[in-house]
Structure 1
Amino acid sequence: MRKIGYTILLFLSTYSCLLAQIKNFNQISKRYIDVSRGNRLLLTEIWYPGNLVDENSKEIFDISKTVVRKHPLVLLSHGTGGNRFSLNWLANILAGEGFIVASVDHFGNTTDNKIPEYFVRYWERPLDISFVMDQLLEDPNFSDIIDHNRLAVVGFSLGGYTSLALAGARLDCSLFKKAAKNKQGKQELNVPEMGDLTQLIDKIDCKQIPKVLKDDRVKAFVALSPALGLGFSTEDQFNVEAPVLIIGTEGDTITPIKSNAIKYHRFIPTSQIKVLKRNLGHYIFLPKLKEYSPDEAIFFKDPQGVDRTEVHQEVGRIIVDFLDKSL
């Protein structure tokens, strides 16, 4: 799976540069370190509208001082074993619509930085997003152009759980560990990116997990094929007031919608759900690649008659419309 990371990284870096020229938005990489969590490295890709750039500056990145309009900020959380470019297609759409977008590499859980035990440290991800949000809202270059009252999070798969955790979904660690041992758990927790995670889950020390991961600064949440529904069983686990959009796929065998997307929707009164049909699978939300090896087919090969780009455009329109109404 290591090869996949480099393939996506190279493809998306080139692709995003081309789109930046066409759609009039720009892109920059940032390196943040959370010293409170063992110097946790959080590589972050940021997309921002082209009208924010100071054209007279010789600096690589310099926001124009004449900009008066504030822009909403959207943070993206990739899926298990993905990276900050996994939702590149969505970042392009959002930046083209005037959003500032920041996508985080979740340390130890990316294609080119695999640390097995970090694949099950699900609570680190919401903390990553909140930390990077802190950095952007305090950054002299970004703080004045971000509308601090219009913040959103979008996540895919484990990133979908991340978004919902920030909204106020509290996963029951003990229930999750128990569910990992039943038939459904063993199916959902044996993932193509890493294999069987059940033994690692059994070793989680539930006492080390923060009781509160919710971030009240965020006003809207989107979850694409969210995972970890196994760790939820009652409405009491949800303290969600903000609007939530959940998008799932009928053909998802990785995070089946019945035990994940639909389950979350049933427990969150403020949520709306959109289920994509046409036999679309879990990985439809990954970027479209024209060339990939046979072992990558599960991620990038679509059923006959399905155009992944068209699906992305449809989903992008749904998300933009939701954010416009919710922020």
Structure 2
Amino acid sequence: MKIKVILGSLILFAGLSVQSHAGDPGASKGAGVRDIKVTSPARDQDLDVTVWYPAAASGDIVPVGADRIFQGTDAFADAPMRPGTYPLVVFSHGSGASIHKMAWLAGKLAGKGFIVAGPDHPGTTSGDSTPEDTPKLWQRTDDLSNVISALLADPDWGKVIAADRIGVLGFSLGGAAALELAGARADLEAYARYCETYPDMADCVWFAGGRGYRNREAIEVAKLDLRSVDKARFEQSNLDPRVRATVLVDPSLVLAFDEASLAGIRSSLHFINLGDPETVPASVKADRLAGLMPQATHSWIRDAVHFSFLPVCADGAHEFMQLVGETDTLCTDGSDRTRIELHEELERNVTDAFQRMLEAGN
């Protein structure tokens, strides 16, 4: 979770370059990208939402997510959509990151025939992230459901989305939110006991206080007592019955979900852990969790680590992180396999799961 320290302290999206191309093979195989606003009544503000979609491979190319640390992923900005009707996948990013950092995977899914839409979650996104906001999963689930509703109601998006084929994809804290959207309910006391048992886990270290971010400025934050979190909101059901398929990558809170609620989930789920059974941290190790649900599968991405889900690092990233005092190994993976190779396996794994669960073609 310390990823929020480095990502929160940088202006990540300054100066995206735009190039004009027609059918450039370097783009994400016909992935279009569009930034939109979605009003959130619950938050009383607009959400920044990015949508990737199957597009005609022409127009201006933008490297989405490029900054001093990570490479961007090319997509066609505001390109015309390819004719057809497509499944919708809503995407929830990890704590302290942003949806633009998920472009490497979202663009691939769009190229395979999915519309992928993800919000930046206020309070747990890059430059706006605090321990106090982190456990408020009910806000994240509302964001995701709100994006689904807004797109289905939109006269343009609504006519190209297959409303009966909706999935959700989540990474880390986004994985916990995705699981709640499928019907899981969290247990606040179990979460508090987890941090008492595993105080060195990244999320528990984050709750211990120190530094957070507001308006891209570092702020000092006090230790968070998890038992002070709104228990009723934390434990409420956030089920969205429109969701048919869920893919969860290293989901957080795996030791804090009510098992009875898991047994009642009837939609399809696929869990992915980044690493080997012996190396995945207890905070996200989901094989046992998957076994509690009637329609869940699980797989391992061998030799990966939690940060392998982040984009490929840019040239000079190591030196830049040293310059700003970042100690996390954001660019280091678990073996001789490159992050590009790990991403290729992840792309296949996620795409195959959604195609199977949503009965979607290429």
TM-score range, shorter chain: 0.7 to 0.9
Q: Residues 175 and 12 (structure 1 numbering): CA distance in 2 closer, same or farther, change over 3 Å?
A: farther
Q: Residues 200 and 120 (structure 1 numbering): CA distance in 2 closer, same or farther, change over 3 Å?
A: farther
Which of these residues, 101, 117, 123, is aligned with residue 116 of structure 2?
101
1:151 Cα shift? 0.6
Q: CA RMSD in A?
A: 3.3
Which of these residues, 7, 22, 28, is aligned with residue 4 of structure 1?
7
Amino acid of the residue matched to residue 317 of structure 1? R
> What is the CA–CA distance in structure 2 between the aligned matches of 1:93 and 1:13, rounded to whole Å?
20
Which segment drifts farther, 235-244 or 280-289? Answer: 235-244
Q: Residues 100 and 13 (structure 1 numbering): CA distance in 2 closer, same or farther, change over 3 Å?
A: farther
Is residue 2:305 matched to residue 1:281? yes
Q: Residues 258 and 27 (structure 1 numbering): CA distance in 2 closer, same or farther, change over 3 Å?
A: closer
Q: Which residue of 2 aligns with 1:41?
A: 46
> What is the CA–CA distance in structure 1 between the aligned matches of 2:272 and 2:11, rounded to whole Å?
23
Which of these residues, 15, 19, 30, is aligned with residue 24 of structure 1?
30
SS at match of 2:142: helix
Q: Which residue of 2 aligns with 1:50?
A: 55
> What is the CA–CA distance in structure 1 between the aligned matches of 2:330 and 2:277, rounded to whole Å?
12
> What is the CA–CA distance in structure 2 between the aligned matches of 1:188 and 1:254, rounded to whole Å?
15
> What is the CA–CA distance in structure 2 between the aligned matches of 1:183 and 1:141, rounded to whole Å?
50
More helix by share: 1
Q: Residues 73 and 308 (structure 1 numbering): CA distance in 2 closer, same or farther, change over 3 Å?
A: same
More strand by share: 2
Q: Residues 281 and 262 (structure 1 numbering): CA distance in 2 closer, same or farther, change over 3 Å?
A: same
Which segment drifts farther, 170-179 or 117-126? Answer: 170-179
Is residue 2:333 matched to residue 1:319? no
Which segment drifts farther, 113-122 or 256-265? Answer: 256-265
> What is the CA–CA distance in structure 2 between the aligned matches of 1:88 and 1:62, rounded to whole Å?
16
> What is the CA–CA distance in structure 2 between the aligned matches of 1:95 and 1:194, rounded to whole Å?
39
Contact 1:177 1:201 in 2 (8 A): yes
1:104 Cα shift? 1.2
1:171 Cα shift? 0.7
Q: Residues 5 and 48 (structure 1 numbering): CA distance in 2 closer, same or farther, change over 3 Å?
A: farther
Q: Which residue of 2 aligns with 1:205?
A: 230
Deviations 1:190-224 (A, max 9, x none): 35799679624232021234722011101110000
Task: Select the structure with the greater relative contact order (CA < 8 A; seq sep ≥ 6).
Answer: 2
Contact 2:56 2:80 in 1 (8 A): no
Q: Residues 79 and 52 (structure 1 numbering): CA distance in 2 closer, same or farther, change over 3 Å?
A: same
Contact 1:226 1:255 in 2 (8 A): no
Q: Please give the TM-score of this superposition, normalised by the length of structure 1.
A: 0.84
Q: How many residues align?
A: 317
Q: Where does 1:199-238 land on structure 2 (aligned, <5 Å)?
A: 199-209=224-234, 211-232=236-257, 234-238=259-263
Is residue 2:197 matched to residue 1:183? yes
Q: Which residue of 1 aligns with 2:169?
A: 154
Deviations 1:239-286 (A, max 9, x none): 2111111000236999725863123212212111001222x2111111
Is residue 2:150 matched to residue 1:135? yes
Q: Please give the TM-score of this superposition, normalised by the length of structure 2.
A: 0.77
Q: Residues 202 and 298 (structure 1 numbering): CA distance in 2 closer, same or farther, change over 3 Å?
A: farther
Which of these residues, 265, 268, 271, is aligned with residue 243 of structure 1?
268
